[in-house]
Amino acid sequence: MTITHNSRRQFLQASTVVAAAVLSSPTLFANGFRSRNDRPRVGAIGTGSRWSLKATGIDGPWGSAPDFIKYGDYVALCDADENRRNRAAELVKEWSAKMPTVHKDYRAIIDDPNIDVVHISTPDHWHAKLVIEAMLAGKDVYCEKPLTLTIDEGKKICEVCRRTGRIVQVGTQQRSEQQFITAIALIQAGRLGKLQRVTCSIGGAPTSPELPVAAAPAGLDWDLWQGPVQATDFRYLAGDNGETKSWSRGHYEFRWWYEYSGGKLTDWGAHHVDIATWGMGQTASGPISIVPEMVQHPVEFRDGMPVDPAKYNTATAFLLRAKYADGVELLIRHDGDNGILFEGTAGRIFVNRGKLTGRPVDELKNNPLPGDALIAAYKNRALVDHFRNFFEAARDRVEPISDVFSHHRALSTCHLAALAARFNRPIQWDPEAEQVVNDPQIQAQLARPYRQGFEIEM
pLDDT, one tens digit per residue, over 121-177 is 999 999 999 999 999 999 999 999 999 999 999 999 999 999 999 999 999 999 999
Residue 376 domain-assigned? no
Residue 295 domain-assigned? no
Question: For 69-116, what is each residue's pLDDT tens digit?
Answer: 999 999 999 999 999 999 999 999 999 999 999 999 999 999 999 999
Residue 450 domain-assigned? no
Residue 365 domain-assigned? no
Question: For 7-52, what is each residue's pLDDT tens digit?
Answer: 333 333 333 233 333 323 334 444 444 444 579 999 999 999 999 9
How crowded is residue 450: how many other Cβ atoms within 10 Å of its Cβ? 16
User: Could you list the residue range(s) of the whole structural domain that residue 84 is in?
Assistant: 5-174
pTM metric for this prediction: 0.92
Give pLDDT, residue 61: 86
Residue 143 domain-assigned? yes
CATH of the domain at 30: 3.40.50.720
Residue 15 domain-assigned? yes
Number of domains observed in the structure of the chain: 1
What number of CA atoms fall less than 13 Å from residue 327's CA on the CB side?
Answer: 6
Residue 41 domain-assigned? yes
Mean pLDDT across 285-298: 98
Residue 74 domain-assigned? yes
Give pLDDT, residue 30: 46
pLDDT band at 56 (very low <50, low <70, confident <90, very high): very high
Q: Taking all residues of the chain, what is their mean pLDDT, rounded to a whole number?
A: 92
Mean pLDDT across 338-357: 98
How crowded is residue 363: how many other Cβ atoms within 10 Å of its Cβ? 13
